[in-house]
Structure 1
Amino acid sequence: MSYDIKEFDINEQTLIGDIAKKYPSIREFLIELSPKFEKLKNPILFKAMSSKATIALVSEKSGFEVKDLIDMITNHIKEKSI
């Protein structure tokens, strides 16, 4: 199966919550991605943050470049879709 990054419609303004609705495994992925996201294990905190946190904000907090973070997320989605 081939994918195009556009089919995931993820950009720097995409909310993490919108991604999590389609791909619930994104929460664990973010927690594994950076120790800075350890607090997201708390479902209440994740729900509150996911409705406000954009890819740009997650990028800033994690130290990853926006493009790299989008690539990592789309790769994660692809792996989980196989």
Structure 2
Amino acid sequence: MSDDIKELNINEKTLIGDIAKEYPFIREFLIELSPKFAKLKNPVLFKAMSSKATIALVSEKSGFEVEDLIRMITKHIREKDI
């Protein structure tokens, strides 16, 4: 695991935009994770959402538990960051 992932410290208050700045591939991951996020393909909509959407909100909208979503995002970052 890289030091960047340790420092990211993802929790329920973390903004998706903060994660996407460091790991741009997270946007596509979210779109693949749930059909509810298909609208995020629109760059303008993603930009607007990313500055307001926390992990807790994404969890609520996707139907995943917060802890599960954090694990999935962290795992995806680790796999891509190898």
Q: Same fold (TM over 0.5)?
A: yes
1:26 and 1:73 in contact (8 A); partners too: yes
**How far off its partner does 1:17 sit?**
0.1
Is 1:37 the counterpart of 2:31 in the alignment? no
In structure 2, stretches of 5+ residues that fail to align are: none
SS of corresponding position for 2:73: helix
2:2 and 2:81 in contact (8 A); partners too: no
Q: Return the alpha-carbon distance in structure 2 between the equivalents of residues 8 and 42 of structure 1.
A: 25
**Structure-to-structure mapping, 1:1-82, within 5 angstroms:** 1=1, 6-82=6-82
- State the TM-score, normalized to the length of structure 2: 0.93
- CA distances 1:22-80 after superposition (whole Å, capped 9, x unpaired): 00000000000000000000000000000000000000000000000000000000000
1:19 and 1:26 in contact (8 A); partners too: yes
The farther-off stretch of 5-14 and 49-58 is 5-14
**How far off its partner does 1:6 sit?**
4.7
1:8 and 1:74 in contact (8 A); partners too: no
RMSD: 1.5
Number of residue pairs aligned between Structure 1 and Structure 2? 81
Q: Return the alpha-carbon distance in structure 1 between the equivalents of residues 13 and 81 of structure 2.
A: 23
2:31 and 2:40 in contact (8 A); partners too: yes
| Runs ≥4 residues deviating over 2 A | 5-8
- State the TM-score, normalized to the length of structure 1: 0.93
